[in-house]
C-alpha cells in the first residue's frame, strides 16, 4: 500500500477509508475475480434480446477488459444460445467460460457438449419459494441438486452451486441443504445469492460469517441484485469478509432492478481500498457504450462511470472550481479522473445553473469580447433561456444569444 492510497494522480477519496480503525477488521482475499453474467442474467433485463453476433461481440469486449470468467449463457434456452456458447468457447478469448443450468442432468449434458470450463447450477433454496414459486416437495430440491452436481463433477466441470433466494431462506434449513449437496453431490464453490437484493450491508456481514463458519474451506462467490440499490455496498462487504468471486454485469443490467455493476465494484475497490483486481479500467466506458448500443438499455445521465453528465459541470460554483483547478488539480473537483475509465476530459456546460465564470469561458471560446457588465447581462439571459427551454445550450445557441445582447 502506498503512503497515501486515497490520493494519487488519478483519484482523491477519503483518507478515512484507510484509518487503522476502519481497516483492522477487513479480510479481503488475495485474489478477487469478476464472473460476468451479462450474457445470461443481463439478458433477463426486460426488453433485452441478444442474438448470436451480439453475444460474441460482448464476450470479446469482456475479454479485452480483462474479465476473469464469462458466464456465456444457458444452453437449454435456445439453439442460438447453445451455438453462441460453443463459439465463445471455440474462440479461446482468455477468460474461463461457464454455462448456467438448472440442477437437472439434461441441462448438465447440454452444458458439457458446449465445451465450457465450468457450470453454475441453480436450485431454489428457500422453503417458501419452493412451496409457492415451484410447487415442489421440499426434498425434490435436495435430490435434484445432489444428483446433478455429482454428474457435472464426473464430467470434469467446475461446479458452482447457486441457491436461489438464499438470503430469504431459514438459515439452518438452507445450510443443511447445502451440506447434503456438498457431502452427497459436489460443490467446488458456493454462491451467496441475494436474488431480490433484500439484504442490508450489516446483515450481509452476518450472512457471510454464518456460511463461512459452516463451510470454512469452500470458496464463496457473491451474486447480488439491486432492488434496494445495495448491490455494490453488499458486494464489497462480502469481499471484505473473504468472498473471492463477484458475479455481476456491466452497467448492472439484469432481472428487475438489475445486477450489481462490476465496473462500480472494481473502481471502488481500487480507489477506496487500494485493491486492483486486474481489470482494464480504461475499457470500462467503451464497454458500457457497447452494451448501450446493442441492447438499447438507457443510461441515466448521472450514472457513475457511464452517465453522459458524470463529468459535465453546470453549477456556477463548481465550474469556477474546475476553471481554477485546471488539469493539474482536477481531483479537487472530481473524485477520479475521467481518463482512468476511458472517458474524455470534463466539460463546463451552459444552462440555468451556470455562473459568470462559465459565461466568460464560453465567450472566450466563441471569440466574443464583452465587458463585465455585458457578461452579466449574457448570464441573466442564459438563465432565462435555460428556465424556458429546460435543457442545456449548444455553443451555437449561446453564441447567437450573446451576439444578440452585445450588438450595438
How does pLDDT run across 224-264, given as a tens digit for each residue? 999 999 999 999 999 999 999 999 999 999 999 999 999 99
- pLDDT above 70: residue 407: yes
- Smallest Cα–Cα separation from 100: which of 114, 116, 121? 121
* Distance between CA atoms of residues 17 and 5, nearest Å: 9
Mean pLDDT, residues 17-44 taken together: 96
Mean pLDDT, residues 197-203 taken together: 96
SS (HEC) of the chain: CCCCCCECCCEECCHHHHCHHHHCCCCCCCCCEEEECCCCCHHHCCCCCCCHHHHHHHHHHHHHCCCCEEEEECHHHCHHHHHHHHHHHHHCCCCEEEEEEECCHHHHHHHHHHCCCEEEEEEECCHHHHHHHHCCCHHHHHHHHHHHHHHHHHCCCEEEEEEECHHHCCHHHHHHHHHHHHHHCCCCEEEEEECCCCCCHHHHHHHHHHHHHHCCCCCEEEEEECCCCCHHHHHHHHHHCCCCEEEEEHHHCCCCCCECEHHHHHHHHHHHHCCCCCCCHHHHHHHHHHHHHHHCCCCCCCCCCCCCCCCEECCHHHHHHHHHHCCCCHHHCCCECHHHHCCCCCEECCCCCCCHHHHHHHHHHCCCCCCHHHHHHHHHHHHHHHHHHCCCCCHHHHHHHHHHHHCC
pLDDT band with cut points at 50, 70 and 90 for residue 138: low
pLDDT band with cut points at 50, 70 and 90 for residue 128: confident
- pLDDT above 80: residue 49: yes
Q: Chain-wide mean pLDDT for the chain?
A: 94
How does pLDDT run across 205-219, given as a tens digit for each residue? 999 999 999 999 999
Structural domains in the chain plus CATH codes: 15-295 (3.20.20.70), 312-406 (no CATH)
pLDDT band with cut points at 50, 70 and 90 for residue 329: very high
pLDDT for 368 equals 94
- Smallest Cα–Cα separation from 350: which of 395, 406, 408, 294? 395
- pLDDT above 60: residue 1: no
Query: Quick one: what percent of the chain has pLDDT higher than 70?
Result: 99
Mean pLDDT, residues 276-304 taken together: 96
- pLDDT above 90: residue 124: no
pLDDT for 351 equals 96
pLDDT for 93 equals 97
- Of residues 239 and 136, the one with the higher pLDDT is 239
- pLDDT above 90: residue 103: no
pLDDT band with cut points at 50, 70 and 90 for residue 2: low
pLDDT band with cut points at 50, 70 and 90 for residue 131: confident
Amino acid at each position: 500500500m502506498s503512503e497515501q492510497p486515497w490520493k494519487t494522480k488519478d483519484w482523491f477519496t477519503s483518507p478515512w477509508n484507510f484509518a487503522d480503525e476502519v481497516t483492522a477488521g477487513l479480510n479481503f482475499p488475495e485474489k478477487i475475480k469478476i464472473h460476468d453474467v451479462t450474457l445470461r442474467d443481463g439478458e433477463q433485463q426486460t426488453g433485452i434480446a441478444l442474438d448470436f453476433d451480439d453475444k460474441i461481440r460482448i464476450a470479446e469486449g469482456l475479454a479485452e477488459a480483462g474479465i476473469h470468467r464469462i458466464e456465456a449463457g444457458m444452453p437449454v434456452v435456445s439453439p442460438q444460445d447453445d451455438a453462441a456458447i460453443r463459439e465463445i468457447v471455440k474462440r479461446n478469448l482468455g477468460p474461463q467460460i461457464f454455462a448456467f443450468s438448472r440442477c437437472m442432468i439434461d441441462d448438465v449434458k447440454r452444458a458439457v457438449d458446449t465445451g465450457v470450463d465450468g457450470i453454475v447450477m441453480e436450485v431454489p433454496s428457500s422453503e417458501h419459494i419452493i412451496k409457492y414459486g415451484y410447487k415442489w416437495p421440499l426434498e425434490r430440491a435436495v435430490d435434484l441438486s445432489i444428483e446433478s452436481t455429482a454428474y457435472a463433477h464426473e464430467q470434469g466441470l467446475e461446479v458452482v452451486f447457486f441457491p436461489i433466494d438464499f438470503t430469504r431462506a431459514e438459515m439452518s434449513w438452507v445450510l443443511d441443504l447445502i451440506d447434503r449437496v456438498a457431502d452427497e453431490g459436489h460443490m467446488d464453490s458456493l454462491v451467496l445469492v441475494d436474488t431480490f437484493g433484500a439484504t442490508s450491508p450489516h446483515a450481509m456481514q452476518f450472512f457471510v460469517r454464518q456460511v463461512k463458519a459452516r463451510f470454512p474451506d469452500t470458496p464463496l462467490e457473491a451474486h447480488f441484485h439491486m432492488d434496494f440499490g445495495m448491490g455494490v455496498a453488499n458486494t464489497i462487504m462480502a469481499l471484505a469478509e473473504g468472498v473471492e468471486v463477484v458475479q455481476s454485469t456491466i452497467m448492472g443490467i439484469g432481472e428487475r432492478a438489475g445486477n450489481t455493476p462490476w465496473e462500480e465494484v472494481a473502481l471502488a475497490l481500487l480507489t477506496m481500498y487500494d485493491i486492483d483486481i486486474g481489470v482494464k479500467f480504461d475499457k470500462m466506458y467503451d464497454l458500457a457504450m457497447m452494451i448501450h448500443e446493442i441492447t438499447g438499455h438507457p443510461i441515466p445521465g448521472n450514472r457513475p462511470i457511464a452517465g453522459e453528465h458524470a463529468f459535465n459541470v453546470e453549477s456556477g460554483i463548481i465550474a469556477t472550481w474546475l476553471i481554477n483547478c485546471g488539469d493539474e488539480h482536477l481531483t479537487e473537483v472530481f473524485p477520479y479522473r475521467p481518463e482512468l475509465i476511458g472517458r474524455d476530459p470534463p466539460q463546463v456546460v451552459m444552462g440555468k445553473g451556470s455562473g459568470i465564470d462559465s459565461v466568460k469561458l464560453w465567450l472566450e471560446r466563441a471569440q466574443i469580447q464583452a465587458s463585465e457588465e455585458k457578461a452579466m447581462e449574457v448570464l441573466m439571459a442564459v438563465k432565462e433561456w435555460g428556465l424556458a427551454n429546460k435543457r442545456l445550450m449548444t455553443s451555437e445557441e449561446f453564441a447567437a444569444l450573446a451576439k444578440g445582447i452585445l450588438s450595438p
